[in-house]
Structure 1
Amino acid sequence: MAVLGSLLSPTSGAAQSTGLARLSDRDDLLGWEAVGRLDIDGRGYCSGTLIATSLVLTAAHCVFDKQSRQLRDPRNLTFRAGLRDGVAIAERGVARIAVPEGYVPGSTEWLDRVRHDIALLELEKPIVSSDADPFVLHSGQRVGTAVSVTSYGEGRSEALSRQRRCNILAIVDDVMAFDCDVTFGSSGAPVFARVGSRGRIVSVISGGGTFEGQSVALGPSLTKIVGRLKAQLRNAPRPVPDRIRRLPVGERNQSTGAKFIRN
Structure 2
Amino acid sequence: MQPLNRGLETLLCSLVSGADQSWQGASPEDLAQLEQVSGAKLPAAYRAFLARMGRDLGTSRFSSLDFSIAKIISCYEQGVVQPDERFLLIGWEEDDEMMPHVFYDLSRPIRQDALVINRDLDGSSNSPEFETFREFVAWSAIYTLGILEQPCHCMGSLTNEKDVREHLDPAMAAMGFNSPIETGPYCGLYREQRAWLTTLAPIEIGPTHHGFMLGGPSEAELRAILGRIATSTPLELEIETWSRDEDEDEDESEDD
**TM exceeds 0.5?**
no
Which protein, 1 or 2, shows the higher relative CO under an 8 Å CA cutoff with sep ≥ 6? Answer: 1
Per the normalisation by structure 2, the TM-score is 0.24
**Which has the larger Rg?**
2
- Structure number having the greater helix percentage: 2
Greater share of strand: 1
